[in-house]
Structures are given as structure tokens and as C-alpha cells.
A and B are shown apart, each in its own frame.
Chain A
Amino acid sequence: MTDARDADTPVGAEIETVAGSAAVMGGEPVLATRARSQWWDVWDQFRTHKGAMVGAGIFLAILALVVLGPLFVEMENGIKSNMRARNQPMSLEYPLGTDRLGRDLFARMIAGGRVSLAVGLAAMALSLLLGTLIGVLAGYFKRLDGPLMRLTDLFLALPLLPLLLVMVLLFREPLTAAFGIEVGIFILIVSAIGITSWMQTARIVRGDVLALKEREFVLAARSIGTPARRIVTRHVLPNVLSPIMVSATLGIATAIITESALSFLGLGFPPDFPTWGRLLNDGVPFLELYPGRAFWPGLAISLVVLSINYVGDGLRDALDPRIRGR
């Protein structure tokens, strides 16, 4: 095994954590001094993971572009049509060209990225939270397993589109009235995606937890009277981190794409609100004429997913003390 990883062996091996073994894997630390050193270890390990660093770099660059972009780009060009500049190719004035109404694609990408990233990250977080919570509860507590898994079956079985339609029907007006149109719809979309996508994570986490809770270290912890809450947070959760990480990277892509499906159905943001998913969707019919229109949003989504995936990989390795030592 070691041969594959020799190249990645960190310079300063942390003896302390190797000795710490399973009992201190991840989780929240008890002592402030230990906490500092442990999180430093994690960071040190994370830094040595080249993929993770590149991924984090790309992700931060995209984030910076999307957040700071409006300082450099005339955002108005992405919103207002300009009949004199329809279907322009890439140029200095329009870095990615313009669309069929003469709107600057670059400005639209920036505006769309803000929405898509916010929706993608928030919906992924919500779905992970729900999925992990339900998965861990069902896997660890026998009494909850039946009801929670039947609930999961129910949600898996419900047809997605009518469910979303009902949610929009019931909550659109109250939410937009309470929070204004943009925030209201944002909450609606994030919860709609989150509520309809947690099931796979829950099933996977539960499966792992079922196996984990019979492992020796969990039995040991239980036999010395550790309360269930602490067993879950300290011993179980850190060990199901890798499937959760995979779910996270897959989840963000799903969320961005689902958002576009929602707006396509008229359930999402108002039509003059660009998002990556919608730009991609709108670009597909012009794939042969103007490939860039579908290519750039597609690339942006892929880059985000790839970078988050690498960060996830790095994080997982960094949080695993057995790897960290070597």
C-alpha cells in the first residue's frame, strides 16, 4: 500500500495523532490546546494534497470571479438587450461573445454563477444535513430505523415534478410575500431541491452506520458508558465521512442542474434571471451554430464539481488519522 503514497508523505510526520488512534478521529476536540494542534495537523495534511490545493484554488478563483466580477464587468450588458451586438463572437469587449438578444455572455455567466453557486451549495448542504441526520439516526437507533427508512422509501417513490409543483403552489406566495421575490424564491428552490435529494445519502450513510456500530471501537466506547450522542459524533460520523463527501460533490452538480430544470418549468427564478443551468439549457439548441453558449456554462459547472471533488478528497484524507501519519 505504502508504495502508492510515498510521494505524498508529509514532511513533518505528526507522531501525536498516530498515537491518538481511532478515539480522536475528527469530531470536536475537548481541550483547546489539543484542538489547535489537531486542526493544524489537518491543515498540514490538506496542504500536502496537491489535487485538493489546486481544487481549492480553482474554486476560490471562481468564487472570486463571481463575487468580485461586477467590479470589473459592466453587469448591465448581461441584463439589457443590445440589438446592435447580437450573436457576437468572442472579443475584447465581450470576452465570451453575446447571445441572440445581444447580452454579454460573460456578464451573464457572472450573474448566473452567483445564483447557481449559492443555490448549489445551499441545497447540497441542506440535502447532506438531512441525509446524514436521517441516515445516522436510522442506522444507529434500531427503533428509528423502520419509520425513517419507510419515510425514505416514500420520498424516493414520490414523483419529483408534481411534488415540486405542489411545493411551489403552497409556498411561493407566502415566501415571496415574506422575503421579497428573490430571497423568497431562493429559499423555495433550495428547500425544494434539498427536500427531494437527501434520500440516497440517507440510505448510504445508514448502510455504513449499520456496519460501523458493530465494530470493536464502537462497542468499546459503548461498554465504557459513552453516551449515544457522543458515540455518534466522535466515532461514527467521522467514519462515514467519505461517502458523505462523494454525495456532496455529486449533490452540487445535481442541485445546479435541478435548478435549471425548475426554472425551465417556470418554478424557479423569474425568466430574466440568468443561472448556469438555464444558460446551458438555452445554449443547447444553438450547439452547432454557437457552441460557446453551451460550452462555457457547462465548463463552469464541471469545474465547480471537479474542484469540490478534489477538495473533498483532500479533506477526507486530512481527516483520516491513519493516512495523516504517513
Chain B
Amino acid sequence: MLTFTIRRLLFAIPTLLFISLAIFLLLELAPGDPMANVPLTVPAEVKEQMRQALGLGEPVPVRFWKWLVQFFWVEPLNIFDHMFGTNFAEGKLRIISWQNRAPVFITIAERIPQTLWVVGTSYVVAILIAIPVGIYSAYKQYSVFDQAGTFVTMIGFSVPPFFSGVLVIIIFAVQLKWFPSIYDTRHVVSDWDSFLVQVRQMFLPVMVLALQITSQLSRFMRASMLDNLNQDYVRTARAKGLREKSVVLIHVLRNSMIPVVTVIALGVPAIFGGAIITEQVFKVNGIGQLLITAIQANDLPMVQTLTFIFAVLIVLFNLIADVLYGILDPRIRYD
């Protein structure tokens, strides 16, 4: 398993380089213009000058190379400088956003806290709810609990957040006035009271997001449990006189986790990626909102950097999932 992990990690490097090139070319090819949001009153020549100032005049390979150097050399140096107070990166050009001409990593660092708070919490809440619900639904298949669970999860999945988000805002923020409708990203949690304020402002977005994630996860959990509950080994375990609890929660659960691990592993990078629509509806202004505004503004350096970080996380977590498969089911061999 160790050699497998090391081999995969080494192989990840060319993969990621290729992915970054693919993303770059895709963004190049996509129609759009960083000047699209500049008012029509600004004439074409001025817009052209602004494009030149952004470095758009240079050929594609040069720009790609510059981005690679900035991402893999200048930015790490900057982080090093930031941590140890050194000056290695001084004078080197960082990755600059086209929207505001500021280094993209400054903006990303500003956005991470609220995304982790909101999207991260939703994932934790969703996993904590979905796994027990999935297990119990499968164990008591077609019971009232299972039916109700199915109904709620399916509604939860089929109603998109641009609808459910606005709905909960109207009910809980406008009518009942229990929660704020707009997230304050400046809020700092320092004591119990400010923590309560934070919980209050997080409640609606977390609820909307967690419902959606729970729906998905619990469906996979339930289906996989159902598959395993009828296996011969379960009968054998019961016949051996094992307690029902340990049969279900140890033997069956462990064997049912493979699809769930896959879904969770695909979901963790999504925590970083944020939840585009939910963040917009609740004005959380996290990474998801950053990505979508960057795409809309054709801010290619920002989109490229965010998507690439996202790609690194995807490759990494898919590797972790593969390793976990081997632990969950020792029969799985990669060598």
C-alpha cells in the first residue's frame, strides 16, 4: 500500500501539470473578455489599453509559463516570507487578479474562513446525519422512518438551493425575523455571545446546504447497506451468534462504506470550492462566490488558480479514497 501511495503521488505531478495546462487552454478558448463589465461608455481603444496592461497581449505559452512560475515558485516564496519574515519574494511578480489587480492569494485567504465555517459545517452536519439515517433506513427498509427519510431526502435533492435558499430567507428572515438574511463576513468570534451571533448567521445557509448533502449521502449509504445486508457473510455472522449490533455496525457498515467514502472524498474538495449558489443567496462571499464572480468577469488568473487548487485537492482526496478502499476491504489490491 505504501509503494502504491508513493507511486501515485509521484504520478500526480505530471497529471496535475497536464490538468493545469488543460484548464489554461480551456479558459483561453472560452469566449469572454475581462473588459465585459466595464461600462459601454469606455471606448474600445481604452479597453484595448487596459487589456494590454493586464498582460493579455503576450502569447499563450508565455502566459502559461509565467503562471506556472508564479504558482510554483513565487507564491510559495511569499508564503515562506509571510511565515518567517524573510524577503525572498521581494520584487517578484505574484499572480495578479484582473478584476482588482491584487494578488489572488490575498483574496483567497480572505475568503477561506467563511467558506470553511459555512460549507465545512454543512458537510460535518450532513455526514453526522446522513450515515445514521442511511444505516437505519436500510436496516428497517420500508418502515415509516425509511419512507419519511426517502421523501425528505428526495425533496431535499430535487429542490435547487436558488429556490430553497430564497424560501427559507422569506420564512425565517423576512416573516419571522429569526435570522439575518445577509451574512456578515467581518464578524469575529471572540467570546460566547459572538459565537452565538455567528451560529445565528450561519444557520440558514448551513441548513440549506446540509439538507442537500445529507440527501445525497444518505441515499448512497442506504443503497449500499441494503446490498450488503443480504450477503452470505451476514447470515454467517448471525449464525455464529454475533450480536445484531456488531453485525450491522461493524461488518455490514464497513463493507458498505466504499461508495460513501467515494462521495465524501469527492465532497471534501467541494468544501474548499464553496457552494456557489448558496453562498450567493446568503451573501456569504466565500470561495464559491469568488469563483463565480471571477468567471463572470473573465478574471482568468483567479479562475485558473482557484480551479488548480481545486484540482490538487481532487487528486489528493481521490488518492486518499483509494487508500481507504484498501483498508475497508483488504481484498482490494492495487499492486
A residues adjacent to B (C-beta < 8 A): 1, 4-5, 7-8, 51, 146, 149-150, 152-154, 156-159, 161-163, 165-166, 169, 199-200, 203-204, 207-208, 210-211, 214-215, 239, 242-243, 245-246, 249-250, 253, 257, 260, 280-281, 284, 287-288, 294, 298, 301-302, 304-306, 309-310, 313, 316, 320, 322-323
Nearest chain B CB to A58's CB is how many angstroms away? 12
Measured CA separation A307–B227 after assembly (Å): 21
Which chain B residue has the least Cβ–Cβ distance from A211?
Answer: B329
Q: What 4 A-B pairs come out closest when comparing CB atoms?
A: A157-B311, A214-B331, A305-B158, A162-B30
CB-contacts of B221-241 with A (<8 A): 223-224, 226-227, 229-230, 234
A-B contact pairs, 10 of them (CB 8 A): A4-B141, A150-B11, A154-B18, A200-B263, A204-B259, A211-B329, A242-B226, A243-B223, A301-B158, A304-B158
Whether A245 contacts B259 by the Cβ 8 Å rule is no
Whether A306 contacts B154 by the Cβ 8 Å rule is yes
Whether B303 contacts A207 by the Cβ 8 Å rule is no
Question: Besides A169-B31, A211-B255, A302-B159, 19 other CB < 8 A contacts?
Answer: A4-B141, A51-B147, A156-B269, A156-B311, A157-B23, A159-B26, A163-B30, A166-B30, A169-B30, A203-B266, A210-B325, A211-B325, A211-B331, A214-B329, A243-B220, A243-B223, A302-B154, A306-B158, A309-B150
Nearest chain B CB to A60's CB is how many angstroms away? 18
Nearest chain A CB to B256's CB is how many angstroms away? 10
Whether A253 contacts B30 by the Cβ 8 Å rule is no
> Which among A149, A154, A287 is the interface contact of B167 at CB below 8 angstroms?
A287
Which chain A residue has the least Cβ–Cβ distance from B27?
Answer: A162
> Which among A200, A214, A294 is the interface contact of B332 at CB below 8 angstroms?
A214
Measured CA separation A83–B139 after assembly (Å): 56
Whether A204 contacts B220 by the Cβ 8 Å rule is yes
> Which among B162, B295, B315 is the interface contact of A284 at CB below 8 angstroms?
B162
Contact with A along B141-165 (1 / 0, CB 8 A): 1110001001100110111101100
Nearest chain B CB to A135's CB is how many angstroms away? 10
B121: Cβ under 8 A from any A Cβ: no
Nearest chain B CB to A192's CB is how many angstroms away? 13
> Which among A207, A239, A281, A287 is the interface contact of B321 at CB below 8 angstroms?
A207
Whether A287 contacts B226 by the Cβ 8 Å rule is no
Whether B170 contacts A288 by the Cβ 8 Å rule is yes
Contact A242-B224, Cβ < 8 Å, known A156-B266, A208-B258: yes
Give how many B residues have a beta carbon under 8 Å from the other chain's beta carbons: 68
B residues adjacent to A (C-beta < 8 A): 11, 15, 18-19, 22-23, 26-27, 29-32, 139-143, 147, 150-151, 154-155, 157-160, 162-163, 166-167, 170, 174, 216, 219-220, 223-224, 226-227, 229-230, 234, 255, 258-259, 261-263, 265-266, 269, 291-292, 295, 303, 307-308, 310-311, 314-315, 318, 321, 325, 329, 331-333
Contacts of A304 in B (CB 8 A): 158
Whether B259 contacts A207 by the Cβ 8 Å rule is yes
Contacts of B291 in A (CB 8 A): 159
Which chain A residue has the least Cβ–Cβ distance from B154?
Answer: A306
Measured CA separation A159–B304 after assembly (Å): 9
Nearest chain B CB to A243's CB is how many angstroms away? 5
Contact A157-B19, Cβ < 8 Å, known A211-B331, A250-B219: yes
Contact A257-B224, Cβ < 8 Å, known A157-B314, A158-B26: no
> Which among A159, A260, A284 is the interface contact of B23 at CB below 8 angstroms?
A159
Measured CA separation A320–B155 after assembly (Å): 27
Contacts of B220 in A (CB 8 A): 204, 243, 246
Measured CA separation A259–B162 after assembly (Å): 14
Whether A158 contacts B307 by the Cβ 8 Å rule is yes
Contacts of A316 in B (CB 8 A): 223, 226
Contacts of B159 in A (CB 8 A): 298, 301-302
Nearest chain A CB to B24's CB is how many angstroms away? 11
Contacts of A159 in B (CB 8 A): 23, 26-27, 291, 295, 303, 307
Nearest chain A CB to B332's CB is how many angstroms away? 5
Whether B227 contacts A239 by the Cβ 8 Å rule is yes
Contacts of B229 in A (CB 8 A): 1
> Which among B32, B157, B311 is the interface contact of A305 at CB below 8 angstroms?
B157
> Which among A208, A249, A257, A288 is the interface contact of B219 at CB below 8 angstroms?
A249
Measured CA separation A156–B22 after assembly (Å): 12
> Which among B11, B219, B292, B308 is the interface contact of A246 at CB below 8 angstroms?
B219
Contacts of B18 in A (CB 8 A): 150, 154
> Which among B11, B141, B269, B325 is the interface contact of A207 at CB below 8 angstroms?
B325
Whether B163 contacts A166 by the Cβ 8 Å rule is no
Contacts of A322 in B (CB 8 A): 230
Contacts of B224 in A (CB 8 A): 242-243
Measured CA separation A158–B25 after assembly (Å): 11
Measured CA separation A204–B216 after assembly (Å): 13
> Which among A250, A287, A310 is the interface contact of B216 at CB below 8 angstroms?
A250
Contacts of A161 in B (CB 8 A): 292, 295
Nearest chain A CB to B329's CB is how many angstroms away? 5
Measured CA separation A200–B259 after assembly (Å): 10
Contact A306-B151, Cβ < 8 Å, known A204-B262, A243-B223: yes
Q: Which of A149, A199, A316 has the most CB of B within 10 A?
A: A149
Measured CA separation A304–B331 after assembly (Å): 39
Contact A153-B19, Cβ < 8 Å, known A1-B229, A207-B258, A242-B226: yes
Nearest chain B CB to A239's CB is how many angstroms away? 7
Contacts of A310 in B (CB 8 A): 150
Contacts of A253 in B (CB 8 A): 157-158
Measured CA separation A5–B229 after assembly (Å): 12
Whether B155 contacts A294 by the Cβ 8 Å rule is no
